[in-house]
Amino acid sequence: MTSFPSLFHRSRSTWHGSSCQASRRRLTRPWATWISLGFLGCLPNSTSAIPAFAQVSAPLASPSLHSLATDFDSNNPPRPTEWRSQVPQLLPTEDQAAPSPAWQPITLTSNWASDTTDSDDTSDSDGWRAVGGSNSNSNTRGFSAPTPIASRDSALSQEADPWVQTVLAEGQKLANGDRWSEALSVYQAALRKAPHSSTLLRQRQTARIHVDLRHRLHDAKYLAYAQGDSVDMAWAHLNEILYKIELNHLEKPNWTEIFNHGLRSLVIASDYPEFQTHLWGRERDDETRQKLQNIQNQYAGMSIRNHTEMTHAVREVVGELQTQVGLSPSITLHELAATAASALDTYSTFLSPSQFDDLNSQIRGNFVGIGVELRSQPEYLEIVKAIPGGPADRARIRGGDKMLAVNDQAVSTIGPDAAADLLRGSVGSHVTVVVETPEGKQYRLKLERARVEIPSIEEAKIADAAHGIGYIKLSNFQKNTPSDFDRALLQLQAQGLRSLILDLRDNPGGALDAAVAIVDRFVSQGTIVSTKGRSFAENMTYAANANSPAANLPLIVLINENSASASEILAVAIADHRRGLLMGERTFGKGVVQTILPLTSGRGGVRLTTAEYFSPTGQRVEMQGVQPEVVVQTVARPNLDGPTNNGQATSGETAADTVLEAAIRRFTQQAQFQPSVPAPTVSSRDSDSTYSRSPN
């Protein structure tokens, strides 16, 4: 099965991943299909059940809702225009025709078959930035299946490329089976090879509409305010989102595309019985569907140039939908608001209240659930690993086990996405699962959901005691990563650490500040990373601290095609400063920053792509990745848990790790030709005293 991680990046606040001192946070991960945090990026073969989130620290100054609804003129936005000369290749001047975006959206979507996070813990600030993109999407739920759009679009017959035809056939098969998150993963992975295929782009957008829609229809908070809001409140909600897009997105908004995308989403939503029951209040018949199609076609040729014209167009279509099909104006406005951001790029998205709460929990490094990492299979959920100390771990669930049923519902019957969703719940609630071991034994277990700490350091050990070679595996970047890393370094030093292998393989990213803070442990001067966006506020430079605790520690960094976003920031900074050696394979190539902007009244938030990041020497990472200095092909992923099944590696596991072995050989060969020197000293540091940031 195909699955994908999610990437976050932190903002100017100290929270691209570590600490938060300013007003917003940035993420550096490709999106997970789950939250597609928004997240939730698309990396193959690593569906994780752990959400990745970011947190906000201080509210952003913003106009009142009244001014958002009545006073904003997008022709005269309240910001200077001279900045354009300082942001090359990102935006045209006023008298130029808009070129295609300087960056191409990455098709990164993680399938987070995830436990749930507790929604009681809310954020206390108004926005944060992320690099990369946990983007957009979440696992599909156990919904009644509408007629698949894929079969109606006849995309297969329109595509001439045989390889793309094969991908479309696979995606259409998944869509026809109501497996939209898997279809989305297929399309996003394919778009990395064929980024300009209009057919793939449209099919991905269709799949994303379904995945996002199911998030909303599953979110009780969203349904409650969509049903209960007055028309004025719904207008204020829509205008707040449009205002944030106008001021913050990396590219000047294509208002026509935003409007058409919203109408298309409404037509698709009308196919869902859940939408008909909870939001429309009626069943849709063929005549009604035809009326919806006619309204969509009627407005398809409309050109919308700015926010004001967008408002006028929305006002017209709201009236048409109310008159012809009986759709409430407030429902139309909320649905258009929820789809506006996803029309912008792969990573930008609306975050429903539950998604937004999940995102905050992930940034903190914990979530509520049973504590397992899952990979979707057609007939079951594969347990990739149980998080140490979590309910599943305490129940002796292990990697390689199969989850066959959840709450007495067979995974083969309801589907892996719906089954994964049943694992979600609040602290103290219970879930019953049927687990099968590799030996074929089945157990029925009743587990109590609890808050689970997500470790960012998967393993820390001395890999070669004779030469003092240490090994640290970083699985993600979150708020506690710098302090955890410092503790691991000190522990390894006590065991005779003389050189270090830092493993970033399959690390999808996370908080930008966390990645910057780790670089700062090894680099004592110069730029670590810089970001450039359409707004002055996005143009930042992160510089190293002169007090780097491991500045003299010999270093090798391991990377592969699934190392993304924050991982790439760390890797390219180490390479540019010639501070260590990169080994492995070219990285994913996610070089854009997302900002998470909370919405008022606790109604979720939006994740917007707001900037692109650059290496210390000015290199772009977006769609290019980071090339290792020593290329070593991966033969097998590291078996960090040791042998299983009576000492034998289970299916899919291999103890051999050619990349790690090559790194160890590199250090041992160097040691043979170097005189004996004292072990470098690694000093402790307060995780809050780190690099410096300054405007560009």
Catalytic sites, residue numbers: 565, 576, 590
Nearest of 115, 220, 135 to residue 181 by alpha carbon: 135
Task: Give me the residues paired with residue 326 across strands.
Answer: none
Using DSSP, state whether 177 is helix, strand or coil: coil
Using DSSP, state whether 96 is helix, strand or coil: coil
Q: Which helix (H) or strand (E) holds 605?
A: strand 605-614
Give me the sheet containing 630-631, strands edge to edge. 457-464, 469-474, 499-503, 555-559, 581-584, 630-631
**CB contact at 8 A, 367 and 451:** yes
Alpha carbon 48 to its chain centroid, in Å, reads 12
Tokens (6 digits) for 43: 């990396």
Residue holding tokens 């670590």? 528
Residue holding tokens 């026809």? 176
Residues composing the chain: 696
Task: Give me the residues paired with residue 435 across strands.
Answer: 403, 443
Contacts 24+ apart (CB under 8 A), 143-147: 143/178, 143/214, 143/217, 143/272, 143/273, 143/274, 143/418, 144/272, 144/273, 144/274, 145/178, 146/268, 146/271, 146/272, 146/273, 147/271
DSSP class per residue in 502-524: EE-TT---BBHHHHHHHHHHH--
Using DSSP, state whether 126 is helix, strand or coil: coil
Q: Is 247 exposed, middle or buried (0-12, 13-18, 19+ CB in 10 A)?
A: buried
Residue holding tokens 């290329």? 631
Residue holding tokens 């410096």? 692
Cα separations in angstroms, 323 against 328, 426, 492: 9, 41, 70
Tokens (6 digits) for 59: 């509210």
Q: State how far the Cα of 387 lies from the Cα of 200, in Å rounded to an integer.
A: 36
**CB contact at 8 A, 28 and 400:** no
Residue 373 half-sphere exposure toward CB, CA atoms < 13 A: 22
* Helix ranges, 495-624 (H): 512-522, 566-576
Q: Is 179 exposed, middle or buried (0-12, 13-18, 19+ CB in 10 A)?
A: buried
**CB contact at 8 A, 607 and 525:** no
Cα separations in angstroms, 659 against 31, 90, 512, 567, 666: 27, 37, 26, 17, 11
Task: Give me the residues paired with residue 406 across strands.
Answer: 409, 433
- The single-letter code of the amino acid at 353 is P
**CB contact at 8 A, 233 and 285:** no
- The phi and psi torsions of 467 (rounded to 5 degrees) equal -110, 5
